[in-house]
Amino acid sequence: MESAARVVVVGGGLAGSAAAVKLAAAGHRVTVIDPNEHLGGKMNCWEAGGYHFDMGPTIITMPQSIDRLFASVGRSSRDYLDMVRLDPGWRCFFADGSVIDLYEKVERLQQELARIAPRDAESLPRFMKYSRQMLRISDEYFFWKPYGAISDLFKEYGVLNPAGLKLGSQIHPFTSLHQVVARHFKDPRVVQMFDHFIQYVGSSPFMSPAILTLIAAVQLDLGVWYPMGGTGQIARALEKLAGEFGVTRRNGEIVSEILTEGKRATGVRLFSGDTIPADVVVSNCDIIRTYEELIRDRRGTALLRKERQRYEPACSGVVLYLGCNRTWDHLAHHDFIFSEDAEDEFRDIYDRHLPAKDMTIYLAAPSITDPSVAPKGCTALYALIHTPYRTDRVDWAVEGPRYREAVLDRLEQRGLTGLRESIQVERMLTPVDIERLYRSKGGSIYGILTQKGLTAAFKPGNRCPLFENLYFAGGSANPGAGVPMVIMSGQITANCVLEDCGAPEAVAV
């Protein structure tokens, strides 16, 4: 295509918005279709009673992926976002009453660990060396590339190429993240803390590949960040960019089918009956739903059946938004209130597919950093508890209220005295609500489950294997879940489109 292509983006999540902005800036005619009235997908907001809540992602790491998107279209993210760096990144509360602040400087974190686990403090530099090596390998071989399987890697480097063989030995594909962590640390509290980095992608440390230990280096070396006004400001910044580059938005509408003919996608059909023709279709929908519901082609069903294990949804969650008319001095901006038995908790969620009896609670109190999100003297709390994705095994109409009480009990036991009496506004989401709001399979928050092994560690590639002009972006596509990864995914997808279709001349990208 030598002229501007007609691009339809199905879903305006962070990845879809990033792809739309980059393609529109390159001169293509881009339309984004989304059932919500906002762009950003799960990066949604809710306001009530003077409180502001970020409903989706709240921990921002690796802001370089955001900076790169803005720079690629001739903008600076600093003109759109006021990002502040948080240190400590987390405050960790353990079942025995001990507390660790997860500082970003290794020397200071060593001092923290030395208070409860002196031998593990000595092991920290060795673990960080391993984590940084995994980040370096990922940056060199995996990030910003449209790989969907180990075969894609072999195509580039060759099966018997020394570099490819060396890479295979370096990433330890059959070693789990937990095995690496347990090899370096012995205190169960320290192991639990470093195992929980995998929760950024909604998987289990017992099944995730060792290479994902890179998340520790991402957080400690690159920092934990917060955009003033709330993480929803990132979505608002992408909305502003989309407007500046002429992206057409069709909010409040749902795509019922991706139209195909032969080996090409020809457009989309909406539930309203409207048909929108396209030269390129980018699906930012959950990839399982894309194959199950949007592509009316038996080849898609066959592919899903063949790749059933690779395409298992990641975990879902119960989320509580609580506006409270008091403060608690012992909280940090980001807090983890850990379970007593981490292994049993993960087994409940990922093996037994049941809500954990003994849950870990991630608790955010952004009003500690940003007074604008709560009335003076009050606290805006966000509590996330990971659960299995929705199945018929759990009736959330019954389990949801019970789980709410269990969460509030746990928070009050861990120092949030008077929590129940302080609540002025409240909202709760269960896996059923998340599935309904964001059309993710089973209410999955993080796309597809990440597992160890040569194949399972890869997410589906950004180019659809069935249709030459259909592309995937988002948490269930390469490179995976988490804010930096999905924004990277959108840019990778846009680069694939530009490579395959070509950008109009004289447009810098």
Q: In what order do the strands lie in the sheet with 224-227?
A: 60-61, 224-227, 83-86
- pLDDT reported for residue 503: 56
Distance CA(503)–CA(488), nearest Å, equals: 20
pLDDT one digit per residue (tens) for the chain, 509 residues:
457 899 999 999 999 999 999 999 999 999 999 998 889 999 999 999 999 999 999 999 999 999 999 999 999 999 999 999 999 999 999 999 999 999 999 999 999 999 999 999 999 999 999 999 999 999 988 899 998 877 777 677 665 566 666 666 677 888 999 999 999 999 999 999 999 999 999 999 999 999 999 999 999 999 999 999 999 999 999 999 999 999 999 999 999 999 999 999 999 999 999 999 999 999 999 999 999 999 988 888 888 887 777 789 999 999 999 999 999 999 999 999 999 999 999 999 999 999 999 999 999 999 999 999 999 999 999 999 999 999 999 999 999 999 999 999 999 999 999 999 999 999 999 999 999 999 899 999 999 988 877 666 688 999 999 999 999 999 999 999 999 999 999 999 999 999 998 654 333 33
Which residue's structure tokens are 């989706």?
Answer: 56
Going from the C-alpha of 449 to that of each of 202, 312, 376, 456, the distances in angstroms are: 7, 6, 41, 9
- pLDDT reported for residue 506: 32
Going from the C-alpha of 142 to that of each of 133, 134, 254, the distances in angstroms are: 13, 11, 33
- pLDDT reported for residue 319: 98
Distance CA(192)–CA(342), nearest Å, equals: 7
Q: Is the dihedral of CA 391, 392, 398, 403 positive or negative?
A: negative
Number of Cβ within 10 Å of residue 105's Cβ equals 12
Of 236, 258, 293, 192, nearest to 52 (Cα)? Answer: 236
- pLDDT reported for residue 168: 64
Angle between the N-to-C axes of helices 118-141 and 214-222, in degrees from 0 to 180, rounded to the nearest 10: 100
Which residue's structure tokens are 């069709």?
Answer: 250
Residue 118 tokens, joined:
């002196």
Tell me if 35 sits within 8 A of 304, measured CB to CB. no
Going from the C-alpha of 130 to that of each of 37, 176, 194, 214, 215, the distances in angstroms are: 43, 14, 13, 8, 11
The Cβ-side half-sphere exposure at 257, using a 13 Å CA radius, reads 13
Distance CA(332)–CA(100), nearest Å, equals: 11
Please name every residue paired with 40 in a beta bridge, in sequence order, or none if there are none. Answer: 13
- pLDDT reported for residue 505: 39
Distance CA(297)–CA(295), nearest Å, equals: 6
Phi, psi of 218, rounded to the nearest 5 degrees = -60, -45
- pLDDT reported for residue 422: 98
Distance CA(110)–CA(92), nearest Å, equals: 15
Is the full-model pTM beyond 0.85? yes
- Our CA angle for 335, 190, 212, nearest 5°, is 85
Please, which residues have CB within 8 angstroms of residue 54's CB and are 6 or more apart in sequence? Answer: 43, 44, 45, 230, 231, 232, 364, 366, 382
Distance CA(46)–CA(36), nearest Å, equals: 13
